[in-house]
Amino acid sequence: MMLYPIIRTVLVLNTLAWSPSLTWGFGLGSFQGRLQGQRAKSMFLQHSINTPEVSTTLWVDTQSIATPTRRNFFASIAAVTTSIIATTLPACADTTSTADATITDKIFIEFKGIPTADASNPNSSNRIVIGLFGNDAPQPVSVLKQLVTKEGYKSKCKPLDTSRLLQKEQLEANKVYNSCLENEDTIGVNYDYSSVWRVIPNERIDVGAVTGKFVARENPNFQDTKGNTLLHDSPGVVSVRRGNDGGYGFTIFPGQKGDVGAAILDEDNIVVGKIIEGMDVVQRLNEMPVVKSAGVNYMALTGGPNAKNAPSRACRYGGPMYCNENKPLKKVLLDKTGVL
């Protein structure tokens, strides 16, 4: 089958991550000057879709497209591709829908500090319930279930950092390490009084920056399952960052299928569940004002007169989830958690 649609659109960038076998080709066109702020004379995009059910090659002619940035240029390709896939792939070929995933476990989280939606009812619920996909992501689901319990997730302390140049910082690093060792074998990491540490509206809500002695613990290594093809395809999908560099937290996706945030999360994260109660709470989190363009006071890093503005201890030893950019202006804590 061969289709020849002519599409005129302003391109908006996205990171491409697709489950069918997709191939893009560029050719048969020329640009007048640079992409930045110029108009394309004519450019053709060749798109091939190959699945057991469908084998299709599409040529899209994008004419007179104003593309202000390279990021904007490539992101509209994602929008065009999403539309093409929706019209060419049969419904039975979609094996990535969270709507079809089996919920094996449920956990709950109650937040403290979210602005209430109803000023006349200050006691409105701040509770969400997450349905977990234990069949699709057994290892991450097991870790999350431990993190919402009092016993917590057992983890070793990070190795002592001996590379600090300033004596004051090295003494502080030693103190953090020794404090961690005191409870390494007796207390597991849990979400008690952890925080919502980043909100990017309609893209992601990052939850579960652990506090105090837990910031010096080794991060869990979240592992993907070979057959897990679930994507961020609807508001309320919950995921964890693949590997061990994302801390103990998880991400709630507040946007829509096909959004820029969805493609980024599909690339980096493992889908582990979805919100089944409390989407109104998710919406309030999504609308919270956050810190933007937080400046770094480099003088303070060397003990200058404004040292009070230096990154906090948690920021230095716990990682970026404890620093300021996109952090809610008002602290939001995980007050109560548990398995249902």
Which tokens sit at 68?
Answer: 């202000």
CB 127, CB 281: distance < 8 Å: yes
Residues 6+ apart with CB under 8 A from 236: 252, 253, 254, 274, 275, 279, 282
Provide the pLDDT for residue 321.
55
pTM: 0.64
Residues of the chain with pLDDT under 50: 1-67, 85-94, 294, 296, 298-310
Q: Where are the domains of the chain?
A: 2-93, 99-339
Between CA 330 and CA 338, with CA 332 as vertex, the angle to 5 degrees is 175
Provide the pLDDT for residue 179.
85
DSSP 243: B
Backbone angle region of 302, left / alpha / beta, with phi > 0 → left and psi within -120 to 50 → alpha: alpha
**For the chain, what percent of residues have pLDDT higher than 90?**
39
CB 128, CB 109: distance < 8 Å: yes
Q: How far is CA 184 from the centre of its chain?
A: 29
CATH architecture classification, 99-339: Beta Barrel (2.40)
Provide the pLDDT for residue 104.
97
Provide the pLDDT for residue 167.
85
> Hey, CA dihedral for 210, 217, 339, 106, is it positive or negative?
positive
**For the chain, what percent of residues have pLDDT higher than 70?**
61
Residues 210, 222: Cα–Cα separation, whole Å:
16
Hey, is 109 helix, strand or coil? strand
Residues 69, 77: Cα–Cα separation, whole Å:
13
Provide the pLDDT for residue 22.
44
Provide the pLDDT for residue 298.
45
Provide the pLDDT for residue 33.
39
